[in-house]
Structures are given as structure tokens and as C-alpha cells.
Chains A and B, each alone.
Chain A
């Protein structure tokens, strides 16, 4: 009798505790993206140097899109590493594209100058590109394969190693559904 009661009590309590534990150990801010594996939303962006870049024109190349803002500490932290990786990969058919969001162009230019970024950077004036990519925490990076499909998403700082590895995978059109995660800052 007592054993049966114990079993019933446990049968009620254990799933509840498990549910709560699942809830508490999850990052409440984390938003899983439905975009990985889908065609990348197209956009065109005006770069700080005045040129205009259209994503559709980059078909056939691996594109690394990095959303950032000058007020975001993890973006500042990874800026130099991104530039170094760009220097290493730029001759291998990989295009870097930095998109500044929720910030001013003045700050953006200052940021690019400060960290000596040579890869194309431009501002998303009204936040439409960011919404199109479901951005919520920056830096947020997307890898687009030569067919124009998003093959990997990384929220937060991405190290040079992952960047290079994922760029190589993207060239082979290998998709990683599991999103990468680093130190990030929620956008505003």
C-alpha cells in the first residue's frame, strides 16, 4: 500500500520537477531560428564606402553575414578577429558582409575605422534586414552557401576557428542545424 502511494506520488512529482528543471535551465532569451536550411532573405545594403551590395549578386560564393552594433561589447570583442579571418579567407571565394543595426552611420564608420575593418560594412537603416534574418542577439552571424541557402547560424561571438571551419563547410554546402552560441548582447 505504502509502496503504491510512493509510486503514485513520484509519478506526479517527478515529471513536474523535470518540467521545471527544463524550463529553468534554458536561456529564456534564446530564440531558435527557423531560417537555417532555408534560402537566405535577399536584401541590398549601402556600404559605408558608398557602394551598394545586393545579396543576390553574391550567388556562387560563400557569404558570411555578421550583424553588429558599435554599442555591443561582444561585437567589439570579436571585431579584430573577424578582420584577421577575413584577411585569411578573402581569396578563397568567401565574402564577408558586416551589417550595422540599431546604430547610427557615424558610430558605424567610427567603429570600422577604429578596428581597421577592410571587409564590406554597411548600416541597416530601418532594421528591416535584421528582422528579415530574425536577429535578436548580436553579434549574430549567418553562413550562406553558394546556392544562396543559410547553412549555419551563430549567435554571439564566433571564434576564428569556427568561422573558418563553417566557411569551408558552407562551400561544400554542408548544413548545421544546431545553432552556435557565444557571448551575445540582446538587441534593443
Chain B
């Protein structure tokens, strides 16, 4: 009864423990109609020949790129995914399949996990039965001790050696333990089928008679206080062994623990093997680290504000975007986005952001202030600007900032002064409307005559503007696929890398023609060049230079 219960519990736990591992990523059976998606799906099944355990879809290698292009081309020719797979198998063998067919040596790959699980299962069953047996054996031997079957001659050596009573008793006790252990062993072997029934019965009989002799000897010995004392502690472990199956709560706790372990293992494995959303996506995602979104919207807003104060606009935008993803009508996030957009010169974007903030909360001060300032600055609607600023000034505490706003309101009152207003010193000020189209640098890029013939038509040109000459992230990058030289270019505020940074000041202009379009890798045959008289002022024209082979 007990053992049956035990078994049931163990099977249940094992099943739960194993199930999270069983389902593998099954590929979509029906091919998606979109060529791009189909290409990805096929490429994801192919193993990149030059990588370590990367699929062709995930690998940045040149060969994988070529293979992806080939997959797409064959799809466009109307070939079926199966035909394309077969094509690659005919070139690289089964090796190229990430899920190799289950035949030959590969079969081992598919069977081993199942075999391993099966062996583990059997092991658990055997061990469990052993536990159960051990406790019932404890009961068995005590029962045997009480009964005294006829003695079978197996004279202990001790009989020939003169011994005092105490050491004789010790000897027989040890003997009894040995017999018990041996009994358990044959019991186990019999249960697991290693002993035939005839052998088992014979051995059992021999052991039983030995036990009887030993029991008799022990019983015939004068009982001293020592054995009585000794017997009590001796019984304890046996009692402990018996108690174990009784404590169902212990078993239940164990089962719950194993269940939780299995579940968490399953979750972590699923997280670890899922396709990543981006480079920043870690193995566990934000599931364990909890960095983004852990503190909820308020914490993100605070982080965004802090980043904004530090002028780390990239980070601030990241945070506010997350807030908006969770709460699309958050006025604060919209207002701050507006401020940053205004600062970057995107007046329209800024205005719509402020409007969204005000739609969510018509009295949100930052949005009122931002929109008012923006309208006052570009002179679009001084009356509306004045209305907004008056509204916000009533909410502001007295101080220099408030007087600044009041001064502005007063100036807006005078129609002539509407166009040209100084921005308050402390707060970010949008650039004047004249530059709303965006400041830019213009020029012509050409390739030096020697390299002209070898220009790869598939190459990608990157025009880079940096605010320092050395290493460091570029301020703006313009990407031109398959450029035709000589090339007229314009790089300006619409090309800035971080939304929110301003395209201004003295900039270092350079360009690189990259074969594979990945600017991080350097291939032979890439061309590069920079303007000879760097740095240049924003707004400069005729910033012409040549591209030469990379040294």
C-alpha cells in the first residue's frame, strides 16, 4: 500500500520533471507566404558551415550571407523549402542540417536522451523500492528474533576461541547485523530479477537459520544492563527507517520541491533557448535580472528623468519609450519626449508629443511649458503660446524660472516681438525655426582612379560625422546602399545616431565603402577616406574627398 503510494508520487514528480524538456522547437509546418520570412525559416534550419553551432539565419559570416541570398533566390525561382534543403544537403551533406535526420549514427543523438531518461527512471524506481524494503526488513528481523527456529549448524568461529561474555555478545550482534545486511541484499537482487526464485529461497533459508542461531545465542546470554541500554539506541535507527514512509508531509514537501525545480528549470530553459529579440536581450531576458520594468512605470519615469537631466538622451528616450509601451497615454513620458524632439529640431514631432501629453492631462506643466516655449520660439502661434505659458506660470513656484516665463509672456503680448525670443537659460531650448529643415554638410565623394574598376556594386557607403577626431561614437551616419560615384551627399540632423543629439559644431567628416555592409568588420577591398581639412562647420558645402583602399 505504502509502496504503491510512493510509486505513484514518484511517477508523478518524474513526469512533471521530464515534461518541460520533451517538447523541442517544432518548425512551422506551413511555410509563411512572405519570402523574407520563408528565407529566415529555411536559413534557421541550416547550420552555418564556418561557425560554431550557429544557424545560417543567425550567423553574420560572409558565407552565411551568401547562403541566405541563395535561399532567397531559389525561393523566388519558385523552389520549395524541401528542394532548397536538399540542395544544401547535396553540397554539404546532412551536416548542414541543424536537426540531422534520425538514421545511422545520428540515431544515437535522438535516442540517447530518451534512454538516459529511462535509465534514470528505472534507477529511481529501484532506489525507492530499496527504501521501502529496508523499513519492512527492519520489522522482519525483529520478528525473527522473537521466534527461535531449530538451530542449523553453522558454528561461529568464536565458539572455539575462549571469550568473555561481553565480547561474545558483541560478536553475535555483529553477526546479526551481517545477516540482516545479507538478507536485504538478496531480497534486492531477487526483486530486481538478478536471483532466481530457487536460489533466493535457498539463500533465504540459510540466512534465516543463521539468524535463528545467532538470536538464540544472544538470548541465552545473561542479560546485562549494557545490552538493554544498547538495544534501545539500536532500535532507534530502525524506528527511524520505519517512520520515513509514514511521514507523508515529508514526501509531499519533496514532491513539491521537485515539481518547483522542474518547473523553474523548464522556464529557464525555454527562456534560454528562445530566439532573442535584440543584441541586448540576455539569456534570461528581464525575467531574472529585472532591470527594465522591475520598478514599474514610476521607476522608469524616474530613470528617464535622471537620464534627461544628465543629458543622456539616448537612455532617456529608451526609458520613456518603455513607459509608453506600458502606458501609451502617460503625459510625463510624452512631454519629455517632446522636449527632446524640440531640442533635436524636430518641431512637428515635438508639438505632437506635447499635444498627446496634454490630451492625457490638459494641465501637465512640462507639456504646457514645452509647447508654449516651442510656439513662442518659432513664432507660429504667439496667442496660443501666451495662453499656455500663462497657464503654466500660475502653477510655477516663485523664482527666476517663473519670472523668465512671465517676461516671455509680456514679450508675447507685444506683437512685434513675437518672432525673436530668448530661451530661458536653464531649460533646453529648441533651435530657431530657420534651421527646422536641419543643418547639414554637403559635398561630393569619389573613388580614387586606381580603385575605380574594383568597386563592388553591392557595397554600402557609410558617411560618418564625428565630433572628435579619435575613437568614439559618431554623431551622425548616413548609409547609402550601392552608391554611384562621384556621389553628391548631404549629411545633417536627420542622420544623427541618437535621437535628441544636435547636429552642430565642428565635425570630422569621413566615409567608408564597406563590402558586406557591416561597418564593424573590415574586409579587404573596403575603401575609406576623410575630408582633408577636418573639422568642418555645420552648414559647410563642397566638403569633397576621395576614397582609397584601406591600408
Contacts and interface: CB of A to CB of B under 8 A. Distances in A.
A1 to B, nearest CB: 7
A131 interface: yes
Given A1-B185, A102-B62, A188-B63, A33 B524 contact: no
A70 B405 CA distance: 67
B180 interface: no
Interface in A1-37: 1, 4, 19, 28-29, 31-35
B63 A187 contact: yes
Given A104-B515, A187-B63, A136 B49 contact: yes
Contacts of B525: 103-104, 106-107
Interface string A113-142: 000000000000011101111101000000
B451 interface: yes
Interface in B55-113: 61-63, 66-67, 69-70, 89-93, 95-96, 108
B86 to A, nearest CB: 11
A105 interface: yes
Contact of A128 (B70, B90, B189, B456): B70
B549 A134 contact: no
Given A32-B95, A128-B70, A102 B63 contact: yes
Which of A71, A102, A107, A128 has the largest number of chain B CB atoms within 10 A? Answer: A102
A44 interface: no
Contacts of B325: none
A29 B454 CA distance: 32
A31 B92 contact: yes
Nearest to B456: A104
B66 A126 contact: yes
B70 A131 contact: yes
Size range of the interface on A? Answer: 20 to 34
A31 B93 contact: yes
A32 B92 CA distance: 7
Nearest to B73: A128
A186 interface: yes
Which of B95, B108, B194, B515 has the largest number of chain A CB atoms within 10 A? Answer: B95
B52 interface: yes
B524 A103 contact: yes
A70 B50 contact: no
A187 B91 contact: no
Given A102-B62, A102-B63, A132 B185 contact: no
Nearest to B53: A28
Contact of A104 (B62, B69, B91, B524): B524
A105 B524 contact: no
A144 B529 CA distance: 45
Contact of A131 (B66, B185, B451, B523): B66
B70 A28 contact: no
Nearest to A19: B108
Given A70-B524, A131-B70, A188-B63, A106 B451 contact: yes
Contacts of B50: 29, 136, 186-188
A107 B524 contact: yes
B52 A34 contact: no
B543 to A, nearest CB: 27
Contacts of A32: 93, 95
A132 B91 CA distance: 6
A28 B52 contact: yes
A99 to B, nearest CB: 14
B92 A136 contact: yes
Interface string B439-457: 0000000000001001010
A111 B55 CA distance: 32
Given A31-B95, A136-B49, A188-B61, A106 B66 contact: no
Nearest to A34: B93
B189 to A, nearest CB: 7
B146 to A, nearest CB: 30
A188 B521 CA distance: 11
Contact of A188 (B62, B185, B454): B62
Interface string A54-92: 000000000000000011000000000000000000000
Interface string B519-542: 000011100000000000000000
Given A106-B451, A106-B525, A134 B63 contact: no
Contacts of A130: 63, 66
Interface of A: 1, 4, 19, 28-29, 31-35, 38, 70-71, 102-107, 126-128, 130-134, 136, 186-188
6 contacts: A34-B93, A71-B524, A102-B63, A127-B63, A134-B92, A187-B63
Given A4-B194, A186-B50, A187-B63, 9 more contacts: A19-B108, A32-B93, A102-B63, A104-B454, A105-B454, A131-B63, A133-B91, A136-B50, A188-B62
